[in-house]
Chains A and B, each alone.
Chain A
Amino acid sequence: MPLRLKSLELQGYKTFASRTVFEFASGITAIVGPNGSGKSNIADSLRWVLGEQSYTLLRGKKTEDMIFSGSEHRARSGLAQATITFDNSEQWLPVDFSEVALSRTAHRDGHNDYLINSQHVRLREMNELLAQAGLSERTYTILGQGLVDASLALKADDRRRLFEEAAGVGLYRSRRDDALKRLENTERNLERVLDIMAELEPRIRSLERQAKRAIDFGRAQADMKQTLREWYGFHWHRSQRDLTDVRETLRGQESRVRDARVVHEKTQQEYSIFRERLSGLRAQLNGWHRQAAELHSQREGISRELAVLEERRRSLTNTQASVLSDQENTKNELHLANERYGDVEQDAARIQIEYEEAKSQLANVQNELQSRQSERASLEEQIELTRNEIESLSQQRAENHARLDVLRSRLQTQIEKINQTKEAIAKGEALSAKAREQYEVIRKERENSALILQEAEEKVVNQKNEFEVIDRQRRESLEQRSKAESDHSRIKAQLEVIEQSEQSLAGFAEGARYLLDAARQSKLTGARGALSAALDVPAELEIAIAAALGDTLDAVLLDADQLEEALSLLESDGAGRAALLPLDDRNNLSLNNPKDDDCLGVASDLVRSPDELSGAVRLMLGQTLIARDRNSARRLIRDLPIHARVVTLRGEVFRGDGLVIAGKTASSSALSRPRRKREFESALSEVVARIAESNDLVERSSNQLADAQRELAQSDTDAREARVRLGEIQETEQQAGLESESTQRQLEWQKNQLTQLEAEVQESVSIQQKIIESQAEVENRSADVLAKSKEIAGKFTEVSTDELQEQSSYWNTRVAVVEQSMASTNAKKEERVKEIMRLDARRVELISRLQDADNSLNGLDNEKTRLRENETGLHGQIEEMRVLIEPAEKDLETAEQEEKRLQDSEVNSQRIFANTERSYGQVQLEQMRKQEALDNLHQKITDDFGLVMFEYADDVSGPVPLPLDGMVEQLPVVTELAPEIEEQLTHHRAQLRRMGPINPDAKTEYDQESERYLLEAGRSRVG
Chain B
Amino acid sequence: MIRKVNGICLKQVVAELDEITKREFVRTFDAVDKQFRETFVRLFGGGSARLALTDPEDLVNTGIEIEARLPGRREQGLAMLSGGERSLTAIALVFALLKVSPTPVCVMDEVDAMLDEANVGRFRDLLVDLSKETQFIIITHNRNTVQAADVIYGITMGRDSASQIISLRLDQVTDDMLKRG
Q: A and B from one assembly?
A: yes
Contact between B100 and A166, CB atoms less than 8 A apart? yes
| A34 / chain B contacts, CB cutoff of 8 Å | 156-157, 176-177, 179-181
Known: A74-B162, A156-B54, A183-B7. Contact between A30 and B94, CB under 8 A? no
Taking a contact as CB atoms under 8 Å apart, the answer to whether A167 and B152 are in contact is no
**Tally of chain B residues near chain A (CB < 8 A):** 89
B41 CB within 8 Å of chain A: no
Which of chain A's residues has its CB closest to B108's CB?
A143
Interface residues of A in 983-1022 (CB under 8 A from B): 1021-1022
Chain A contacts of B153 at CB under 8 A?
A: 22, 29-32
In the bound complex, CA of A138 to CA of B103 (Å):
8
Encoded as 1 (CB less than 8 Å from any A CB) or 0, chain B from 108 to 142 comes to 11110100000000000001100111111111110
Residues 108-134 of A contacting B (Cβ, < 8 Å): 133-134
Is the Cβ of A16 less than 8 Å from the Cβ of B21? no
A400 CB to closest chain B CB (Å) equals 67
What's the Cα separation between A173 and B165 when bound, in Å? 42
Asked if B75 is an interface residue, CB under 8 A from chain A, the answer is no
Q: Which of A4, A29, A166, A167 contacts B104 (CB 8 A)?
A: A4
- Contacting pair A28 B2 (CB below 8 A): no
Contact of B138 among A30, A74, A1023 (CB under 8 A): A30
Complex CA gap A92/B102 in Å reads: 13
State whether the Cβ of A35 lies closer than 8 Å to any Cβ in chain B. yes
Given contacts A73-B159, A156-B65, contact A29 B101 (CB under 8 A): no
**A790 interface hit (Cβ, 8 Å):** no
Q: Which residues of B contact A169 (CB under 8 A)?
A: 20-21, 24-25
Query: Is B154 an interface residue, CB under 8 A from the partner?
Result: yes
Given A25-B150, A147-B109, A166-B135 contact (CB < 8 Å): no
CB < 8 Å neighbour of B13 from A46, A47, A151, A179 = A179
- Let me know if B149 and A30 touch, CB within 8 A: yes
Indicate whether A301 reaches chain B with its CB closer than 8 angstroms: no
**B3 nearest in chain A by CB position:** A1023
In B47-95, the 8 Å CB interface with A consists of: 54, 61-66, 78, 83, 86-87, 89-91, 93-94
Chain B residues within 8 Å of A372, by CB: none
**Alpha-carbon distance A574/B91, docked complex (angstroms):** 81
Q: Which residues of A contact B159 (CB under 8 A)?
A: 73
Contact B64 A36 (CB under 8 A): no
Residues of A within 8 A of B104 (CB): 4-5, 86, 92, 133-135
Asked if A39 contacts B155 (CB within 8 A), the reply is: yes
Residues A333-357 near B (CB distance < 8 A) = none
Which residues of the partner chain A approach B25 to less than 8 Å between Cβ atoms?
Answer: 160, 163-164, 167, 169
What residue in chain B is nearest A69 (Cβ atoms)? B161
Chain A residues near B136: list those with CB within 8 A: 27-29
**Could you say which residues of chain A place their CB within 8 Å of the CB of B128?**
27-28
**A614 to B161 alpha-carbon distance, docked (Å):** 122
Q: Which of A15, A148, A165 contacts B157 (CB 8 A)?
A: A15
Q: Does A520 contact B (CB under 8 A)?
A: no
Known interface pairs A30-B145, A37-B157, A162-B97. Does A149 touch B150 (Cβ–Cβ under 8 Å)? no
| B residues in contact (CB < 8 Å) with A | 1-3, 6-7, 10-11, 13-14, 17-18, 20-21, 24-25, 27-29, 32, 54, 61-66, 78, 83, 86-87, 89-91, 93-94, 97-98, 100-101, 103-111, 113, 127-128, 131-141, 145-146, 148-157, 159-165, 168, 173, 176-181
Q: A-side interface residues toward B, CB under 8 Å?
A: 1, 3-5, 15-18, 20, 22-43, 46-47, 68, 71-74, 86, 92, 133-135, 138, 140-145, 147-149, 151-153, 155-160, 162-169, 172-173, 175-176, 179-180, 182-183, 186, 190, 1021-1023
9 smallest beta-carbon distances between A and B, as pairs: A156-B63, A33-B155, A71-B161, A38-B163, A30-B149, A25-B150, A167-B28, A17-B162, A25-B151
Besides A17-B163, A18-B162, 17 more A-B contacts (Cβ < 8 Å) are A1-B132, A24-B151, A28-B137, A29-B137, A37-B155, A92-B104, A133-B104, A135-B103, A145-B109, A149-B83, A152-B78, A167-B28, A172-B24, A179-B13, A186-B6, A1021-B2, A1022-B3
